[in-house]
Amino acid sequence: MRSTRAIINLKAVKHNVSIVKQLAPGCKIMAVVKADAYGHGIVQVANCFTDVEAIAVACMDEAIKLREAAITKPIILLEGFFSQGELRQAIEYDLQTVVHQESQLLELEKLSAKILSATPDYQLKVWLKLDSGMNRLGFEEQDFIEAYQRIKQIKVVDTVNLMSHLACADDIKNLMSKEQIKKFNITTKGMQGLRSMANSAGVVAWPESHYDWVRPGIILYGCSPMLGINGLAHHLQPAMTLESQLFAIRNLKPGDKVGYGSAWTAQKSTKIGVIAIGYGDGYPRHAKEGTPVWIEGKTYPLVGKVSMDMITVDLGADCKLDIGSKAVLWGEGLPVETIAEFANTIPYTLLCGVTSRVKFKWKND
């Protein structure tokens, strides 16, 4: 049987939570599990978060999936509600919501009276979002101040917390984070409510952004959020190991070519190992020649183009490996950050991109 698997180490996820606690002592943690927990399985991962105070998702479907799996922790909708219907669902499923634009304020104002009479006990917690410079979501400064005043008047809203999002926190040399933090401090001065700004990179590199709640995502899955380094530098453990097996070996003479487009030519006699993983499984199509693959304690370079179901590696003429040898594409022994670099992408896309053809196995020990 084709043994292409993603092993998800939930113990590593818990360990990574403990690293966040060390980096941001005293802060509450909103663990980000959007996009199927960055490809790790939203329900399994959320279930292992015994040590965090809340869970953050991008959208309603993700939140409902968690509630239907009996997850009772506070859940925050990071993109907020998209319609009146979703606002009602937020109430029905006891969700907290980000409010980042005027249309959401209007929906809240419109529905407030009706909701109050229908569910008098219901108290909605919202996170009012300031656009501190990313220009993606959030109110600009003056609008934020006005939105804060208005939202305070909405009866159904009992808690208003304050948030913003860092645009360049992964780059320690970039002064943008300092400017954003300053804008957040100035704009929210004197306002009541808990504050949140730090993503993983904020947790690692910008202690001034920690405030009351941190919102780590990628770091929980064992990756460094910082440019040019990997999770081991922060004592993180990789949560996903993507593995497969060597299932064919060919002997090549000098001048023999490998794979589609005959893109790689053997300069000397060698053995080529064929591994059962390809872009149909989420292995990056653009991984460069030389991308490392970890096979039984040693790395071997990718050669030739990545196919839908297979990749080829240069094992060298003297290789003693047999068919059936386990190959690790990323994870334990081979940081996903390294593979992302070779594929000219970021670890987030690799982790999120493992396809449904791959069998997932969750382990807790």
Interface ranges with ligand PLP (CB under 6 A):
32, 78, 165, 199-200, 215-219, 225
Q: Are strands 257-258 and 264-265 parallel, antiparallel or unpaired?
A: antiparallel
| Structure tokens that stand for 181 in this block | 């933090």
Which region, left, alpha or beta, applies to residue 177 given φ > 0 means left and ψ of -120 to 50 means alpha?
alpha
What does the DSSP assignment read for 145-202? HHHHHHHHH-TTEEEEEEE---SSTT-TT-THHHHHHHHHHHHHTT--S-EE---HHH
CB-nearer residue toward ligand PLP: 169 or 275: 169
Using DSSP's 3-state secondary structure scheme, residue 67 falls into helix
CB of 288 to ligand PLP, least distance (A): 25
CB-nearer residue toward ligand PLP: 27 or 258: 27
Exposure on the CB side of residue 230, measured as CA atoms within 13 A: 16
- Specify whether 363 is catalytic: no
- Specify whether 28 is catalytic: no
Q: For residues 48 and 183, what is the distance between their CA atoms, to the nearest angstrom?
A: 36
Backbone angles phi, psi at 254, to 5 degrees: -55, 135
CB of 56 to ligand PLP, least distance (A): 7
CB-nearer residue toward ligand PLP: 6 or 219: 219
Within 10 Å of residue 308's Cβ, how many Cβ atoms? 11
CB-nearer residue toward ligand PLP: 163 or 258: 163
CB-nearer residue toward ligand PLP: 32 or 157: 32
CB of 177 to ligand PLP, least distance (A): 13
Q: For residues 16 and 223, what is the distance between their CA atoms, to the nearest angstrom?
A: 9
Give the active site residue among 34, 125, 129, 183.
Answer: 34
- Report which residue's Cβ sits closest to ligand PLP: 217
CB of 277 to ligand PLP, least distance (A): 25
Give the active site residue among 11, 260, 359, 363.
Answer: 260
Using DSSP's 3-state secondary structure scheme, residue 4 falls into coil
CB of 237 to ligand PLP, least distance (A): 16
> Which residues are identified as catalytic?
34, 260
